[in-house]
Amino acid sequence: MDNTYYNSADLRKFGKVTEWSEKVGKKFFDWYGEAFAEGELSAKEKALIALAVAHVVQCPYCIDAYTEESIKKGYSEGQMMEALHVAAAIRGGASMVHGVQMMNKAKKLNM
Amino acid sequence: MVLKSLSARHSPLSETQRQLGILNEAPFNDGDLETFQQKLKSSGKFPLKPLQLEIFQVNVGYMCNQTCAHCHVDAGPDRKEIMTKNNLDKCFEIVKKYGFKTVDITGGAPEMNPNFFEFVEQLSTFGIEIIVRSNLTIIEANKKYHTLPEFFKKHKVRVISSLPFYQKDRTDKQRGDGVFDKSIKALQKLNDQGYGKQGTGLILNLVYNPVGPFLPDDQAALESQYKQALKTNFDIDFNSLFTITNLPISRFLEYLLASGNYEDYMYKLVDAYNPAAVEGVMCKNSISVDWEGNIYDCDFNQMLKLKVATPKSNHLNTFDLDDLMNRDIVINQHCFGCTAGAGSSCQGTTV
């Protein structure tokens, strides 16, 4: 096996994380399942949100899982990429909006 | 895109023993995954037995006008195996004698069997349900098939057709360039005859196969997406959508191996094993006959050349209903495809 921190085959073992703390682990998976269930948002919409968030938190397991889930639920590659741009724009925007702070500070420092 | 069958390419996978060998190697032979037999045993369902034989599924030949990337039959224009009139007549006699409720005609493209039309006409004389698994594009393929919608209507055939997705790119990726557009035209012609329209009694079902190494999504959710997209974009109506899981055999197995997805797919199927789905699998209420008259538990076993486990009646010539009812169904690891999640059969989900 390759000596890497991330191994795609580990995704299959996700459910086993309950083993050392069964009670709270079970609560996590119950909550996880409930969060993705059909609600006021459809399960399909939730999959695309998860895909976008997966890129923001840069979780390779989540990216694998929700890329597949998004395809399975009928999203096109174009829709998936648009969702990623929204996520990335928020991420970029979060940096850029701090530019206001920079500008405020710079103005204060200028004589 | 695959242009020729495994058989025509002399691929090692065209040998069913090679396919069965792969299905019984890792991750099954090293104990990482339980085998299908072990799973059935632990859920108290081994041996798998038939319930009632209602559906007579006859594969009238492996010739097809398409060469789909996922095809479990390894069908294509280069396949020459075609059921003879003599064997079709035997099928007719057996169906009539034993009172099967449904004859499910499949292929290849079943319409390419030269005796297909006569066989359907013959069957329609005694009120049995006739299913034709039509790939849709055959209707557009040649002048002699242009009147298929009228023919189906005349004989009240239930049409079940593959349309792996309601968008062009994914459909064409699996089934070949131009297939989506031709399929849409064919569906519109079927609609023109009343197929899929309320009150006509003419049933048009569509089949969804995942275009990749994953299980189908929820059947009802997909049906609603299909209905909305096909109606809005092409004014097409149909009755219901069947989601069918791709089994890891033949050309889909080739794809899984070549793309490095095989092991992951087998884990997915095994992890999703659902004992409740076992009850509705098609081998419990149907039998499958090949072009040479051999009898199998299902179309997938037919493609793996796994005949029914009762040598006494494993051919049309020696058909014995009581004997077939007492048989144990032949299983192997590919069966996980029918019991994963909501289950999978020729009629869609099983739970």
What is the CATH number for B280? 3.20.20.70
Is the CB of A72 less than 8 angstroms away from the CB of B264?
Answer: no
In chain B, residues with a C-beta closer than 8 Å to the C-beta of A44 are 221
Phi, psi at A89, each rounded to 5°: -65, -40
Report yes or no: B150 and B192 within 8 Å, Cβ to Cβ.
no
Sheet-wide strand order for B55-59: B240-243, B204-208, B158-162, B129-134, B102-106, B55-59, B286-289, B295-296
pTM of the entire structure? 0.93
In chain B, residues with a C-beta closer than 8 Å to the C-beta of A12 are 264, 267, 271
Domain count, chain B: 1
In chain B, residues with a C-beta closer than 8 Å to the C-beta of A9 are 263-264
Locate the chain A residue with the closest alpha carbon to B166: A74
Is the CB of B225 less than 8 angstroms away from the CB of A74?
Answer: yes
Pairing of strands B129-134, B295-296: unpaired
| Domain housing B196 | 12-339
Could you list the pLDDT tens digit for every one of the 351 residues in chain B? Answer: 557 999 999 999 999 999 999 999 999 999 999 999 999 999 999 999 999 999 999 999 999 999 999 999 999 999 999 999 999 999 999 999 999 999 999 999 999 999 999 999 999 998 899 999 999 999 999 999 999 999 999 999 999 999 989 999 889 988 889 999 999 999 999 999 999 999 999 999 999 999 999 999 999 999 999 999 999 999 999 999 999 999 999 999 999 999 999 999 999 999 999 999 999 999 999 999 999 999 999 999 999 999 999 999 999 999 999 999 999 999 999 999 999 999 999 989 999
Q: Domain for residue B328, yes or no?
A: yes
Report yes or no: B339 and B274 within 8 Å, Cβ to Cβ.
yes
Is domain A38-109 given the CATH code 1.20.1290.10 in the classification?
yes
Q: Look at the block and give the residue holding tokens 């006409």.
A: B121
Look up the ipTM and state it. Answer: 0.84
Pairing of strands B286-289, B295-296: antiparallel
Peptide bond into B114 cis (omega under 30): no
Report yes or no: B98 and B324 within 8 Å, Cβ to Cβ.
no
In chain A, residues with a C-beta closer than 8 Å to the C-beta of B222 are 74
Chain B: residues touching A (Cβ < 8 Å): 165-167, 169, 210-212, 214-218, 221-222, 225, 263-264, 267, 271
Q: Domain for residue B4, yes or no?
A: no
pLDDT-derived band of residue A59, with 50, 70 and 90 as boundaries?
A: very high
Is the CB of A72 less than 8 angstroms away from the CB of B169?
Answer: no
Q: Look at the block and give the residue holding tokens 């599924």.
A: B57
From residue A56, alpha-carbon distances to A6, A85, B198 in Å are: 17, 10, 47
Closest partner residue to A68 (CB to CB) among B214, B216, B222 is B214
How many CB atoms are located within 10 Å of the residue A110 CB?
6
Phi, psi at B332, each rounded to 5°: -160, -175
Is the CB of B214 less than 8 angstroms away from the CB of A71?
Answer: yes
Report yes or no: B246 and B209 within 8 Å, Cβ to Cβ.
yes
